[in-house]
Amino acid sequence: MDLEYSAGHQAFRDEVREFLKGWPLKGDEAKRPQEEQEQIFRKRGIEAGYVYRAVPKQYGGSEQPSDAIKDRIIIEEFYAAGAPRDLMSQGAGLMVPTILEFGTEEQKERWIPPALTGEENWCQGYSEPGSGSDLASLQCQARLDGDEWVLNGQKIWTSSAQRAHMMFGLFRSEPDAKKHEGITYLLVPMDAKGIEVRPLREMGGGYEFNEVFFDDVRVPVSNTVGVRGQGWQISRATLVHERNLIGNPNMMREAFSDLLDLARSRTLNGRPANEDAGVRRRLAEIEGYVQTSQLSNMRQFTASNKGKMLEVMRPMMMNKVAGTDTMQMIMKCAYDLLGGDGVIAPTEDELDTWGRKTTSSGWVLQYIFSMGPSIAGGASNIQRNIIGERGYGLPRDLRRTS
């Protein structure tokens, strides 16, 4: 065990820090809209070799030799500087790795570059009204007609569909095949004729997810990813990326540090809340979970670097549910610290900024939002099934076969 970085990696960290002095932007650049500033800086990050390192240059990435420790340093430093790096969007975070692995050359050239810059937004069309945890039971239909797929049916809970240019989704192409075998992975332009997006209002008050209806929507066959009927297997690969996005320990550490600041700024029984014995214990208990997640992540990181991935399969399976439970603990504690202010609803502005935690109603929104990740991307009960069955070898649930 040695937590020191090698001289080479230490020098690399210094280099990254030097680069990060360029954020926030200065002078005239700083006067541009926030989104543009982020794009400018991200582009510089790509040129410097810090952003989209695993994506080949020809598709807009920086194509760096794989070095997990450098990746980690970059993430840590960019995170600390609050600087824009790889987009964590559905497009860059989920579609791109999938296409890189399973897509055709044309698909990579066409879809990856604009997804990396964020010029084209993507949404994920998996869930349906009748198919959530049991995703493989999905019914949204794709019927081949010449060189086009014809889509009919409905998707639901589709986040950011209202802004998306494209959807990657799962469709039933072989109605007679077995449940997991008749599914095809398709790329669908959201402006195609016959698509209708209807917003759903979330409990927080905003409109982030949607219903998407398909009425004889035509999509070229060239938009099929991988082999027809193999969509399920391909989607499993995407899911790994999604769970990694959710179980991010940097996010947890940041949220915990915000929570400490909140405790310092609130008053309890006439004294600063952070001096209250009960509050301090509760915070320290949460720190136990936060540190555990972070250190377990480091252990997994080292093990996979050494090619000993098999030794950390169990803790890897636990990342998602442990991470979302810890985030919920943080938000529950924050909520109690708000006292009476916890009943004030978030403003429109806070809904737009996802409740950045500077105001009490911003925290209220976070308190509500923290439940989402426990449901999305495989609900906690499903995670516990995976841990019990694959982690500890317990029998699978009895289920009616279809």
Partner 1 sequence: MDFGLSEEQEMLQETIRGFAQNECPTTRLRELFDEGEGHDPALWSALAEMGIAGLIVPEEHGGAGMEILDLALVAEVLGEFAIPGPFLGHSLAIRGVMLAASAAQQANLLPDLASGEMIATVALQEADAAWAPESWTARVRDGRLTGEKTIVSHAALADRILVGLDGGGLAWVDAKGQGVVIEDLGGIDRTRPVYKVRFEGAPAEVLEGGSGNAWQLVETAAVLLAADAFGSATKLIDLDVAYAMEREQFGQPIAQFQAIKHTVARIGTDIEPARALFWYAAHCQDAIEAEAGRAASVAKAHITDRAMNAARESVELHGGYGFTWECEVQMWFKRIMLDRSLLGTPDQWRERTAVMGEY
Ligand X SMILES: Cc1cc2nc3c(=O)[nH]c(=O)nc-3n(C[C@H](O)[C@H](O)[C@H](O)COP(=O)(O)OP(=O)(O)OC[C@H]3O[C@@H](n4cnc5c(N)ncnc54)[C@H](O)[C@@H]3O)c2cc1C
Active site residue 242: yes
Binding mask 188-227 for ligand X (x = CB under 6 A): ---------------------x------------------
**Alpha-carbon separation of residue 192 from 90, 224, 401 (angstroms):** 20, 16, 36
Site string for partner 1, 242-271 (x = CB under 8 A): ------------------x--xx-------
Q: What residue 288 binds from partner 1, ligand X, none (CB within 5 to 8 A, per partner kind)? A: partner 1
Residue 98 found at the interface with ligand X (CB under 6 A): no
Q: How far apart are the first and last CA of the chain?
A: 50
Near ligand X in 252-311, by CB under 6 A: none
Question: x/- binding map, residues 58-97, to partner 1, per CB under 8 A?
Answer: -----------x--x-------------------------
Give the whole-angstrom CA distance, residue 215 versus residue 26: 49
- Report the alpha-carbon distance of residue 214 to residue 264 in Å, rounded: 51
| Calculated CA dihedral for residues 283, 284, 285, 287, nearest 10 degrees | 90
Partner from partner 1, ligand X, none binding residue 127, C-beta < 5-8 Å depending on class: ligand X
**Residue of 6, 58, 104, 133 that binds ligand X (CB under 6 A):** 133
- Per CB under 6 A, which region of 36-44, 121-129, 144-152, 318-326 contacts ligand X? 121-129
Between 186 and 273, name the residue whose CB sits nearer to ligand X. 186
Alpha carbon distance 358, 261 (integer Å): 10
CA angle 67, 70, 72 (to 5 degrees): 110
Residue 101 in tokens: 């692995």
Give the footprint of ligand X on residues 137-166 (CB under 6 A). Answer: 157-159
CA distances from 105 to 102, 149, 186, 221, 307 (A): 10, 20, 16, 15, 30
**Of residues 234, 390, 378, 370, the one with CA closest to residue 315:** 390
Q: Is 2 in the site for partner 1 (CB under 8 A)?
A: yes
The C-alpha torsion from 247 through 68 and 231 to 390, rounded to 10°, is: -60
Which of the residues 106, 242, 254, 311 is marked catalytic?
242
Question: What are residue 172's DSSP bridge partners?
Answer: 141, 183
User: CA-to-CA distance for 162 and 113, rounded, in angstroms?
Assistant: 21
Residues with catalytic function: 242
| Sites of contact with ligand X (CB under 6 A) | 123-127, 132-133, 157-159, 209, 372, 375-377, 379, 381-382, 385, 397
| Sites of contact with partner 1 (CB under 8 A) | 1-6, 9, 69, 72, 260, 263-264, 274, 277, 280-281, 283-285, 287-289, 291-293, 295-296, 298-299, 301-303, 306, 308, 314-315, 318, 321-322, 381, 383-385, 387-389, 391-395, 397-398
